[in-house]
Amino acid sequence: MTPASAPAARTPLNRARVVAEALATADEAGLESLSMRSLADRLGVVPMALYKHVSNKEELLDAMVDAVIREIQPRDVADDWKEAAREQVMAARRTMLQHPWAWRAIETREAPSPAALDRMEAMIGTLRSGGLSAPLVHHVMHTLGSRLWGFSQEVFATGPQPTDPQAAQEAMEMMAARWPSVLESAMSTLHQQDTAVGPGCDDETEFTFALDLILDAAERLHTQGWTPGPRSDGATRVGAP
């Protein structure tokens, strides 16, 4: 039907379109809605067609994560290393708030993508520029963990609270009876729903508290001339358990 010289009416599939549509699906409907079959449907092709452009689903997720990490754009800040490091992490967080599915995809990647290595290179460079030793920077990067990528793993995200007032009352009474300290702790701080990555209480206040605690501690250890080996508090700690 179509003349051989004219391209097909449908835009030909390519890797960029596949990844872009996958990102759109995750943004709109969540990561659990993304399957190779549903993605093929959205693109109006047969599932097998996708395998021309990504070798499998894991590679598609790799590409999606790479694209999201590439969106992280720290603002230019003063040349204080700690403030610069803080801004880089907060920039990552801004990106994660825009892609609520991304943290789940990031934490299942096996190796860092090029964009991830670029991000790590920038962060490590910033910390080293402050004079922190390579081993200290290495430990600080581990201590930051997922916070480098703008989220903190909320292990037991306090799930959706019971909306029924009576059920809420009963849950509270059970907590008070068996877990009074947990209840007191939960009540002691209000959480901001609107600045949280995902469910639970990984909100701005908790995130910045932990971030500043880590960066301040890193600065202190550096100033005190930390070196690898014994515990920083001076207690002896020799040998494996």
Partner DNA sequence: ACCTGAACACCGTTCAAGT
Closer residue to DNA (CB): 24 or 49: 49
Q: How far is the CB of 185 from its own copies (least distance, A)?
A: 5
Residue 60 in contact with residue 67, Cβ under 8 Å? no
Closer residue to its own copies (CB): 18 or 105: 105
Q: How far is the CB of 118 from its own copies (least distance, A)?
A: 8
38 binds, options DNA, its own copies, none, Cβ within 5 to 8 A by partner type: DNA
Residue 193 in contact with residue 205, Cβ under 8 Å? no
14 binds, options DNA, its own copies, none, Cβ within 5 to 8 A by partner type: none
Closer residue to its own copies (CB): 21 or 100: 100
Q: How far is the CB of 110 from DNA (least distance, A)?
A: 14
Q: How far is the CB of 51 from DNA (least distance, A)?
A: 5
Question: What is the Cα–Cα distance from 43 to 45, expressed in whole angstroms?
Answer: 6
Residue 212 in contact with residue 220, Cβ under 8 Å? no
Burial of 207 (0-12, 13-18, 19+ CB in 10 A): buried
35 binds, options DNA, its own copies, none, Cβ within 5 to 8 A by partner type: DNA
20 binds, options its own copies, DNA, none, Cβ within 5 to 8 A by partner type: none
Closer residue to its own copies (CB): 39 or 196: 196
Angle at 211 between CA 207 and CA 215, to 5 degrees: 175
Q: How far is the CB of 53 from DNA (least distance, A)?
A: 10
Alpha helices for 53-107 (secondary structure H): 57-70, 81-98, 102-107
Helix (H) / strand (E) element for 204: namely helix 204-223
Terminal Cα-to-Cα distance of the chain (whole angstroms): 74
Q: How far is CA 92 from the centre of its chain?
A: 8
138 binds, options DNA, its own copies, none, Cβ within 5 to 8 A by partner type: its own copies
Question: What residue ranges bind DNA (CB under 7 A)?
Answer: 34-38, 45-49, 51-52, 56-58
